[in-house]
Amino acid sequence: GNSVTQMEGPVTLSEEAFLTINCTYTATGYPSLFWYVQYPGEGLQLLLKATKADDKGSNKGFEATYRKETTSFHLEKGSVQVSDSAVYFCALSDRKDDKIIFGKGTRLHILP
Amino acid sequence: DGGITQSPKYLFRKEGQNVTLSCEQNLNHDAMYWYRQDPGQGLRLIYYSQIVNDFQKGDIAEGYSVSREKKESFPLTVTSAQKNPTAFYLCASRVGQGINTGELFFGEGSRLTVL
């Protein structure tokens, strides 16, 4: 079946550092890919998405590119802020059966 | 405002009791989902429903039941058969039967603790 694997946390960085959170997937078809973010005490919200190969999703300074050849969707940000501290989830949507599958999440701590 | 409302936010139950978590949405979304979130496990899909009066098991459906009698409502019952029910439960919905952009809108969650 489909699956999503993302790097384990926690990840701790200083403010203004460069961020990469790795995400790889396995899927039988051509899924859509997503990054969701969960701020402390809140539900999840969509951060960015890409629906086909080579698409780049971007939002709030975060970017991720859908790489079919490496089955990856790594999340990047050039300069993180303390307010970016949250848990980040990579997710996959299968068009065939409407299942939406999440990775285990990566907790990010940004130090001032 | 449109959104998803989960209740209660916190719930305690004794072993052997069934409990029902409520999820209501006024977004006019067709599909609704229940996930369970545990530390280190991420989100795991319990049940999902693409249209009224229809639902499918997710990856961890054992010990849970759902109904979808109305478009806006998708309650989850945690039964006494669920061996480890203490967890954070998240309900979500998305637009468009047959149009799976995958973008989910989440409620704020219900935290269930079994004593």
pLDDT digits (tens, 9 = 90+) for A7-57: 888 999 999 999 999 999 999 888 899 999 999 878 899 999 998 899 999
The position carrying tokens 């991720």 is A64
Judged by phi (left if over 0) then psi (alpha if -120 to 50, else beta), residue A69 lies in: alpha
Amino acid at B106: F
How many contacts (CB atoms, under 8 Å) link A and B?
Answer: 58
The position carrying tokens 């936010």 is B9
pLDDT at B100: 55
Q: How far is CA A69 from CA A27, A65, B101, in A?
A: 12, 12, 22
pLDDT band at B96 (very low <50, low <70, confident <90, very high): low
Flag whether pLDDT at B98 surpasses 80: no
pLDDT band at B9 (very low <50, low <70, confident <90, very high): very high
**Parallel, antiparallel or unpaired: strands A11-14 and A106-111:** parallel
Other beta carbons within 10 Å of B3: 14
SS3 content of chain B, % helix, strand, coil (to 5): 0, 50, 50
Flag whether pLDDT at B102 surpasses 90: no
pLDDT at A35: 96
**Cα(B114)–Cα(A111) distance, rounded to whole angstroms?**
35
**Chain B residues with CB inside 8 Å of A44's CB?**
43, 90, 92, 104, 106
Q: Read off the pLDDT of residues A50-102 as tens digits, 9 standing for 90 and up.
A: 988 999 999 999 999 999 999 999 999 999 999 999 999 999 988 777 788 89
pLDDT band at B99 (very low <50, low <70, confident <90, very high): low
pLDDT at A42: 82
Closest by alpha carbon to B112, among B13, B34, B46, B7? B13
Judged by a CB distance cut-off of 8 A, whether residue B36 touches chain A is: no
pLDDT at A36: 96
Question: Would you say A53 and A68 are in contact if contact means Cβ atoms under 8 Å apart?
Answer: yes
Return the DSSP state at A52. Answer: S
Flag whether pLDDT at A105 surpasses 90: yes
Tell me what the pLDDT averaged over chain B comes to.
Answer: 90
**Chain A residues with CB inside 8 Å of B96's CB?**
none
Sheet with B4-7: strands ordered across = B4-7, B19-25, B76-78, B64-66
Flag whether pLDDT at B8 surpasses 90: yes
Question: Would you say A62 and A21 are in contact if contact means Cβ atoms under 8 Å apart?
Answer: no
Q: Read off the pLDDT of residues B27-46 as tens digits, 9 standing for 90 and up.
A: 999 899 999 999 878 899 99
